[in-house]
Amino acid sequence: MERELTEPWEGLLCTPDGDDSGAGVLVLAGSSGRVDRERARLLARAGLTALAIRWFGGPGQPPGICEVPLETFTAAIDLLQRRGVRRIGVLGSSKGAEAALLTAVHAPRVDAVVAISPTSLVWSNVGPGLDGAERPYRSCWTWQGRPLPFVPMDETWTPTESPGRPVAVRGAYEQAARTFPDALPPAAIPVEHTRADLLLVAGGDDAMWPSAPFAEQLAARRRAAGLPSRLVHHPAAGHRPRLPGEPLFPASPTYAYGGTPEADALLGAAAWPHIVEVLTTSRMR
């Protein structure tokens, strides 16, 4: 069953038609800003109550990923809990994965996180805030009204692609990390501070940012704290792993995502059983 939502954010709530696992998942797309309806439907077919929301770009929200309150996501968790969900998961891709990880750090109610093409750091804003300004750089996120520490971008970076070709922006993030080394420790996402089970999914040919090294850093932080995590990786996959049953992602004329349709599908297929498992049961401990 599906229910379209308009308040307090645009969204889609999908509930299982058959057996209900008692588990629910908040579904967060990346910088497209869309409500990830297809992924929510896919997860509902796997027995989960799935809630996909628009978390920026909607009425009353920042038009860009700029000082987005993490309370946006805890309010969505409230809705899932009011629906009787007993096990709370958050699944996010790219910037949505950044949000998912941070939500788990700040909200002890989160039981599981699936971070697809994640980052291990908090980055500066992508687009304008509520004030309409993009500069100076600000954090993507706030918690209880305070911006989280972040890594700014280095504006001297220039793409290497020929004019008119899709741009791989991975180098911009790698250069920013080299330019601002002192910003890295405070901006690190402290996944060692969440009890949530953690599943990481990353492709080695990601052209948007270095999600595979980021995922390895997150897993290392968990190991150092004596906490479990699982990393599913494919060396030839890009930024957009495709889960079984999802349609092909359209090519972008603006950005290069890396990977190939075949490798992206292989990574999604390898990750899928682990995604269902971690969202429905606690077996990492």
Overall pTM surpassing 0.85 (yes/no): yes
What's the rounded mean pLDDT across residues 229-252? 95
**How many C-beta neighbours within 10 Å does residue 2 have?**
12
**Predicted pLDDT of residue 243:** 98
> Sorting pLDDT into bands at 50, 70 and 90, what band is 284?
low
Q: Is pLDDT at 18 greater than 80 in this prediction?
A: no
Residue-wise pLDDT tens digits, 182-216:
999 999 999 999 999 999 999 999 999 999 999 99
Q: Is pLDDT at 221 greater than 60 in this prediction?
A: yes
Q: Is pLDDT at 61 greater than 70 in this prediction?
A: yes
Under 8 Å between Cβ of 274 and 232: yes
**Predicted pLDDT of residue 283:** 62
What is the distance, to the nearest Å, from the Cα of residue 208 to the centroid of all Cα atoms in its chain? 13
**Predicted pLDDT of residue 164:** 85
Under 8 Å between Cβ of 209 and 202: no
Write the CATH number of the domain with boundaries 2-280: 3.40.50.1820
| DSSP state string for 60-100 | TS-SSBSSEETHHHHHHHHHHHHTT--EEEEEEETHHHHHH
| CA distances to 210, 236, 274 from 268, in Å | 18, 12, 10
- Cα of first residue to Cα of last residue in the chain, in angstroms, is 33
Helix axes 71-82, 95-106, angle to 10 degrees: 70
**Predicted pLDDT of residue 282:** 72
> Using CA atoms, how far apart are residues 258 and 272, in angstroms rounded to an integer?
20
Per-domain residue ranges of the chain? 2-280
Residue-wise pLDDT tens digits, 120-171:
999 999 999 999 999 999 999 999 999 999 999 999 999 988 888 999 999 9
Sign of CA dihedral 54, 112, 262, 214: positive
**Predicted pLDDT of residue 21:** 72
Bridge-based pairing of strands 49-53 and 23-28 is: parallel
Taking all residues of the chain, what is their mean pLDDT, rounded to a whole number?
Answer: 96
Question: Would you call 25 helix, strand, or coil by DSSP?
Answer: strand
Gyration radius of the chain over CA positions: 18
> Using CA atoms, how far apart are residues 56 and 65, in angstroms rounded to an integer?
6
What's the rounded mean pLDDT across residues 85-96? 98
**Predicted pLDDT of residue 19:** 64
- Share of residues in the chain with pLDDT > 90 (%): 94
